Structure 1
Amino acid sequence: MAESLAGVPSLAERAQQILHAVCQTVGLDHGGAELLRLRSNAVYKLKEPIIVRIATAPTAAERLPAVLAVTRWLDQHGFPTVRPADHVADQPVMCTGVAVTFWDYVPCNDVPSTTSELGRLLRDLHAFPAPPIALRHLDDPLASVRANLQQHPESLTPSERDWLSHHITDLTEQWKQLPFVGPPTLVHGDAWIDNLFRHRDGHVILGDWDSVALGPREWDLIHSYHGQARFGLSQHEVDAFATAYGYDLRAWPGYQTLQRIRDLYAIGIHIRNAHGDPFSHQELQRRMRSLTEGTTDRWYMKPT
């Protein structure tokens, strides 16, 4: 991998600075804030039951109004989604050039969410009509990886950049030929089990709508199958997901191609964060090595 992390400001330190500034702006107490996640967003829980999401993507300010609008619309229509904390401020809030959103905290219990529950929620989501909101169309799922590679070439070696550029081009063309079933629908875009929260009253709630779009439902489904290939989901969990959704993507002729596309998609965030986050730096090395060598190594969502 290219340069070391020496002298590069930490993403966590930068996020902490933004948290302090934005909380002062909107009148919230940031004391004792707990960092829950640092990946595509820095996610904090405040002492007050509020979640603060600090976006790291440069395009966040453009897409977040639609994200907020969709979650409000789904909530109004009875879909179990996280809800914007609209009493805090007009959203998104811009702070030192970074887009920040505020969400109602979901008090959770210790019972894990299941892939069966995720399958049922996605089945319900895909049955919704398109909302009356201007949403992006998912016609190029590797666009963010391509952009991150162009903006952060230092995260990879020249040979890795060449390999990745070639495969992005090849798989983008293959995406256009995939035999998707049915018209585009409302898709979550990052329909992974970790984005499903169990409220302490027992019901489950779907969060992290940053990638919401109109697109093929197969994109939402592939995440769980990819979870077995890379992130430790079991055969039983994937079978349960397919049963609950009512369709097994493994029978679809585009399945293997979509798995390869999902593989490339999963490295984009680590290209962007590699020089400010030690975990992303390490995970990018792991994933690129696995891709270039053609192995099925286990990947990780967070430090182990």
Structure 2
Amino acid sequence: MSNLQNWVGREEVRTDQIRADPARFMQATLDIKPSLSEGDPLPPLWHWLYFLEAAPAGELGRDAHPKRGGFLPPVALPRRMWAGGRFDFHRPIQIGHEATKRSTIACVTEKVGRTGPLCFVTVRHEVFQNDELALSEEHDIVYRNDPDPNAPTPAPRSARDSADFSEIVEPTEVMLFRYSALTFNGHRIHYDSDYARTVEGYDGLVFHGPLTATLLIKLAASKAGKAPKRFEFRGLTPLSGMSPFAIEGVSEDDQTKLWAKRADGALAMSATAEF
């Protein structure tokens, strides 16, 4: 851990043109007729389609993510998961204009959970456009051991029984493939079902955590009729095996409580949008 702490404060800066095509392709991925064009505001969390890292194939790890030890610290635990994030939306990101993202390793923390050792890495991102801060993000990554096939599976938390609004999401291999392509995400759990089952212990292909969060914030914004000022989410139980799941919410004053619920009633993700 003393070596990993050397990564705290490390920075990386990327500049990208917020082109219309990735946003239009994202609309198609979500079964929306492509309509976004230059000058339109980028929908919330769609900044993940930009500022991508193009690591050569020879520099990828076992899971097809870039090997650690560059910007991210060289955590020895083999499994990498997106644990959650927090966002402040200061002003819309405009399609058709250049933007810059500054990323900083905020902290590295080692813990021991029910399934063994864990390492949490928090990365702070700031997106600037026209020299003005548009978005602040804290991104939580968790690293853990491969699952023990003989260990009992912890019982998941149950999701809430009642909601003000709800939608059913029916994952498809094409949806997962397209989102992986749009975000240049090579993680094999999203397209290699044998790897997902035999190596990482899932029921099958895993629905992207960031895509789940994107669907939740989209649901909140559609119900409120406006984009939120702040959003946070936490992944709790994976959505795997291509089973349909529900995204639901409850409106409470100036915020919306949201969650993704698996077919078995387990709470997969919780989120809050503030307006």
- TM-score relative to the length of structure 1: 0.25
Structure with more of its chain in helix, by fraction: 1
- TM-score relative to the length of structure 2: 0.27
